[in-house]
Structure 1
Amino acid sequence: MCKVDNMVTAHGADHRRLRGLLSRSFTPSRIAMLALRIEQCVDRLLAEMAQRGGSADLMSEFAIPLPTNVIAELFGLPDEQREEIVALTYSRANTSATAAEVRQTRQRIPEFFRRLIALKRGQLGDDLASALILARDNGELVSDTEPIDMSKLGEDVTETLEEIPRRFKVIETVREKFTCRDCESISQPPAPFHATPRGFIGPHLLATILFDKFGMHSPLNRQSTRFKSEGIELSTSTLADQVGFGTAALMPVFDLIEAHVFAAERLHGDDTTIPIQAKDKCTTGRIWTYVCDDLPFGGAAPPAAIYYASSNRRGEHPQKHLAGYGGILQSDCYNGFEPLSVAEKKAVPITFAFCHAHARRKFFELADIQKSARDRKRRGKPISPIALEAVQRYDALFEIERQINGLSAEERLAARQEKSKPLFDDMHEWLKQERATLSRSSEVIEPIDYMLKRWDGFAGFLEDGRICLTNNAAERALRGIALGGRNWTFAGSQRGADRAAIMLTFITTCRLNDVDPKAWLADVFARIADLPVSRLHELLPWTWKRLREAEKAQDQYIA
């Protein structure tokens, strides 16, 4: 057996020692260099043997120079490791070999070192024992394909999250023209439908553009830049046209959501500012929202939200929105929703229920211990003990509300009469007593007067179980506008603000019903043109969700 062959086909126990030495001392690049030097030495040995014929004395001509020169000098291993490798390599060496044996070894060298490199890089692991050339205990060599007796201990699974880049495609529809010589007419199939007039953008891409703009607050100029980086040329003006056309195509669904919201027994109403670009400067416009959410009192009506935009906060705008509404409106104390002059002319005026979160916030600002500690360093004023007690009284009321959330209106009313009414009545008497002892310069007078002057509106929750203690539903619906304003800064025009209100209606309503807004928009754009008016209600988010779940259940049953 050739000396190099004996190094390659070491005994199993010795091979494990060699593998341990390699794992401590050799890098993959060093192993590759060692393989190259061995190949060069073997090639030189074969050339010399061809010239003189016969066998070769490996100990003197090949084997001895290789470990001492290559391992010790090239790789600079410590003496103790060099001695271990040398002893391992030549422990069963024959001192001579024929040319045929050397050629056989030459063919094995590349695969052997390739596997050693794979072991070093962690690509083979414990399976290396079945892939490398091993020897049995009796000294007989085995082939690299012969399996050995091993049992699986277990396995480890490593998960890596990766991104698949977006892909775009152009769908070409070929419409052949035919002519009839007898009737002298030309026929051709109709062009495929696009959601927008004279459009070329498919429903899924249009849904992505609208959702990114109004749901993720990504301005059109940023979207245009991203499309360009992906090889798609879509200018900002082209995207703006598609937004306008897409919004107009969804107006029938907007009308259905509007009718559903204002048919509710109780609404949450609020507004927030939005800068609107005018001729010379930006004006402070308003986005109004009305939210229907009956889940707190166990109502069966699906939740929904409607938005409107206006150029100012004049009362004529909410009065126009609420002209046909006569239920409960939870709001702040803005008197523009329905002044007395308007309420007297309506058959069923609005019943107002004011937000206790607004009232509590005014006390909390005067009782904020952390803020007071920060301001004290700047010679700020200490906290107000009256405000602190008011916050504690409110906390007891809110704890009761958390316990009865989701119960029916009757159960909520019974619990409030038993637990909340005594606390609230006592709070009323306490506020009046404290108000009488305060001077005009006291800061806590303002929140006390805010409640006492509107006490009937604040006490409405004790008479109707449908009323919530706060108007947080409307405030949550407006939170995205405040956050998104940092990205889009202002609405380009009043028409742009109206489009934003329409799209926010769809996106918020989808989220309230646990529907993916992007998937909903894509499906609606694909179907709305061919859907009869009598079936438009199928596109409402809550109905759309129910139909999809029914189809999914049916497909699973068939499968």
Structure 2
Amino acid sequence: MQASVSPMPDDVQALKAALAAATLRADQIEVALLDAQARQSDDQALIAHLKLQIEKLKHQLFGSKSERSQRLLDQLELQLEELEAAASQDEAVAQIGARKVADAPGFERRRPSRQPFPEHLPRERRVIAAPCACPACGGTRLSRIGEDVTETLEVIPRQWKVIQTVREKVACRDCEKISQPPAPFHVVARGWAGPGLLAMMLFEKYGQHQPLNRQVERYGREGVPLSLSTLADHVGAAAAVLEPLHHRLAAHVMDAERLHGDDTTVPVLARGKTATGRIWTYVRDDRPFGGPAPPAALFYYSPNRAGEHPRQHLADWPGILQADAHGGYARLYEVGRQPAPITEAGCWSHARRAFFVLADIESSARRRADGKKPVPISPLAREIVQRMDRLFEIERAINGQSSQDRLTARQERSAPMVDELEALILKHRPGLSRHDDLAKAMDYMLKRWPVFTRFLQDGRVCLTNNAAERALRGIALGRKAWLFAGSDRGGQRAAFMYSLIVTAKLNDVDPQAWLADILARIADHPSHQLDELLPWNWAAQHQIRKSA
């Protein structure tokens, strides 16, 4: 039995009205879904907040001062931090979506009443003058009837102050219309944190690996008591505001002809245990072959290392990918891949490490001195490492030259060395057991020899994947500081912020100064000119403003 379908009207106006009604219903459904998601996130954050309060009270009354109990409180605080940030981000998205539907109120979270700022903080009054003429009728007979004061907590390095933005309110004696300048923009609705303070919180959390609970402790010692949930609230809202800029950054990275790819582990707080997630990075850096495009890094989070994740990240991208031999990339290189197969380029640093371990005399001597079993030194491994090092010397000499000049130098100088290295490996490999560490290192290269020699065919290819490893270095160094991500959602937010901060660093831009300026300007910045706020464009404009 076929379902009956209502006939469509033939009148153009009727069709337009039907389309408008359908669009309105779709917008209403979208607003309802965003509202429900925001409410769910808010409920989860409230539950986590109450759990933390209960555990703190139990700890005060009955708990010991053991490290285990303190770590439990730290875990609960981190979980609350991530849920508060997620709830605030969902609230901001729901309010943005509510603007599509007339009279849609938009979801607003339940927040405790804010306490006044400490009296000892200095106040700086910035008065927004009232208009000289009535905006409603043009009359000039205005009388001052009062003012509204909006207090914004701002920070100057090692100095706190409260900025009082005074909006004068006037009434027109001719038409009795009351007028007042608009309130200043805040990332969080009715928020109080200035862009400088927000930038500092974001950079210290994601750039300096200082969790919000440690920031709260430090701010308290400086005489400014702030709650963890309040800071997390602002972090989530800031992520929602910066999302359009992140989209432009991702588009720039995915416009590259060649990318560096890599991933690293991220501990993630899970129910009753700590799971292991992954942070993936894709770095665009055309500087080695003289490309004019500025460098940038894009990060993604995934709960595991399955191959589906890089396939999703690079679904529409064709180009050259420099990465390790992780099997998850394999399907990207298949001939039938759409829109086109990705060209694989190997990393000689990865290959060199296995040989270097077998040729490191100093490391073996240290192990022997410490009473550990020394690693046998292989003269053949040492010779292979020395041959590779000569290839690296050539690369350092041609770094920054055009791709054609690099290719010419490689074909003249590097190609004969690579052929000799291959002949050396092929000569000695049959005499080694397949279980031998040196044989495994040789097989790693021989099985992928066309991939490792790709740099001899294309001047854009680098000899190593070090650009991606450098981008991940901060995460690897910071893991011991922040211990773990609070959730998968927190891992995604961390990858989001790493993209912005690492890209700023790649362009020699102070991430905190850049974020502070962007957060202050992005609300009034035209959406079609967002590229002006990307770090490399921002730096050029900032230099012009400083010179003026």
CA distance in 2 between counterparts of 1:167 and 1:415 reads 55
1:342: Cα distance to partner?
Answer: 6.0
Change (3 A) 1:418 1:340: same
Whether 2:232 is the aligned partner of 1:240: answer yes
CA distance in 2 between counterparts of 1:344 and 1:281 reads 41
CA distance in 1 between counterparts of 2:405 and 2:446 reads 28
1:542 corresponding residue in structure 2: 536
2:372 corresponding residue in structure 1: 378
1:275 corresponding residue in structure 2: 267
Q: 2:415 aligns with which of 412, 415, 421?
A: 421
1:381: Cα distance to partner?
Answer: 4.2
**Runs (5+) with no aligned partner, structure 2:** 1-155
Whether 2:505 is the aligned partner of 1:507: answer no
1:204: Cα distance to partner?
Answer: 0.6
SS of residue paired to 1:300: coil
Q: 2:320 aligns with which of 322, 325, 328?
A: 328
Q: Structure 2 length normalisation: TM-score? A: 0.69
Structure 2 letter corresponding to 1:213: K
Change (3 A) 1:177 1:375: closer
Report if the CA contact (8 A) 1:196-1:249 is conserved: no
CA distance in 2 between counterparts of 1:343 and 1:237 reads 50
SS of residue paired to 1:173: strand
Q: 1:442 aligns with which of 436, 440, 445?
A: 436
2:13 corresponding residue in structure 1: none
Whether 2:310 is the aligned partner of 1:305: answer no
Whether 2:348 is the aligned partner of 1:356: answer yes
CA distance in 1 between counterparts of 2:501 and 2:372 reads 45
CA distance in 2 between counterparts of 1:259 and 1:288 reads 17
Structure 2 letter corresponding to 1:246: A
CA distance in 2 between counterparts of 1:378 and 1:305 reads 41
Correspondences of 1:9-408 after superposition (within 5 Å) = 166-178=158-170, 186-339=178-331, 344-376=336-368, 377-408=371-402
CA distance in 2 between counterparts of 1:362 and 1:441 reads 14
1:491: Cα distance to partner?
Answer: 0.5
Change (3 A) 1:340 1:474: closer
Report if the CA contact (8 A) 1:355-1:469 is conserved: yes
Please list the CA deviations of residues 223-246 of structure 1 after superposition, one character each: whole Å capped at 9, or x if unmatched. 101111111111111111111111
Report if the CA contact (8 A) 1:294-1:301 is conserved: yes
CA distance in 1 between counterparts of 2:456 and 2:248 reads 33
2:106 corresponding residue in structure 1: none
Change (3 A) 1:535 1:165: closer
Structure 2 letter corresponding to 1:497: G
SS of residue paired to 1:308: strand
Structure 2 letter corresponding to 1:245: A
Please list the CA deviations of residues 325-356 of structure 1 after superposition, one character each: whole Å capped at 9, or x if unmatched. 10111010113124168651313211110100
1:467: Cα distance to partner?
Answer: 0.5
Change (3 A) 1:166 1:379: closer
CA distance in 2 between counterparts of 1:240 and 1:340 reads 38
1:148 corresponding residue in structure 2: none
1:281: Cα distance to partner?
Answer: 1.7
CA distance in 2 between counterparts of 1:189 and 1:551 reads 27
1:532 corresponding residue in structure 2: 526
1:117 corresponding residue in structure 2: none
Q: 1:484 aligns with which of 478, 481, 485?
A: 478
1:382: Cα distance to partner?
Answer: 2.2
SS of residue paired to 2:266: strand
SS of residue paired to 2:384: helix
Change (3 A) 1:381 1:185: closer
**Runs (5+) with no aligned partner, structure 1:** 1-163
Whether 2:511 is the aligned partner of 1:517: answer yes
Report if the CA contact (8 A) 1:269-1:288 is conserved: yes
Change (3 A) 1:165 1:470: closer
Report if the CA contact (8 A) 1:319-1:338 is conserved: no
SS of residue paired to 1:208: helix
Please list the CA deviations of residues 495-543 of structure 1 after superposition, one character each: whole Å capped at 9, or x if unmatched. 1111111111111111111111111001000000001112211101001
Report if the CA contact (8 A) 1:293-1:303 is conserved: yes
Report if the CA contact (8 A) 2:316-2:339 is conserved: no
1:418: Cα distance to partner?
Answer: 0.6
1:313: Cα distance to partner?
Answer: 0.5
Structure 1 letter corresponding to 2:340: V
Report if the CA contact (8 A) 1:322-1:337 is conserved: no
Q: Structure 1 length normalisation: TM-score? A: 0.67
Structure 2 letter corresponding to 1:465: G
> Considering only CA atoms, is the larger Rg found in Structure 1 or Structure 2?
1
CA distance in 2 between counterparts of 1:467 and 1:485 reads 31
Of stretches 350-359 and 432-441 in structure 1, the one that deviates more from structure 2 is: 432-441
Report if the CA contact (8 A) 1:274-1:284 is conserved: yes
CA distance in 2 between counterparts of 1:302 and 1:312 reads 31
Structure 2 letter corresponding to 1:253: L
Which structure's residues are more often strand, by fraction? 2
Please list the CA deviations of residues 296-321 of structure 1 after superposition, one character each: whole Å capped at 9, or x if unmatched. 11110101101111111111111100
Report if the CA contact (8 A) 2:434-2:440 is conserved: no
Q: 1:466 aligns with which of 460, 472, 480?
A: 460
CA distance in 2 between counterparts of 1:239 and 1:341 reads 44
Please list the CA deviations of residues 107-132 of structure 1 after superposition, one character each: whole Å capped at 9, or x if unmatched. xxxxxxxxxxxxxxxxxxxxxxxxxx
Change (3 A) 1:245 1:343: farther
CA distance in 2 between counterparts of 1:520 and 1:468 reads 30
CA distance in 1 between counterparts of 2:500 and 2:335 reads 30
The count of aligned residue pairs is: 391
CA distance in 1 between counterparts of 2:420 and 2:462 reads 20
Identity %: 59
Structure 2 letter corresponding to 1:348: A
1:189: Cα distance to partner?
Answer: 3.0
Please list the CA deviations of residues 68-99 of structure 1 after superposition, one character each: whole Å capped at 9, or x if unmatched. xxxxxxxxxxxxxxxxxxxxxxxxxxxxxxxx
CA distance in 2 between counterparts of 1:510 and 1:551 reads 19
CA distance in 2 between counterparts of 1:381 and 1:357 reads 20
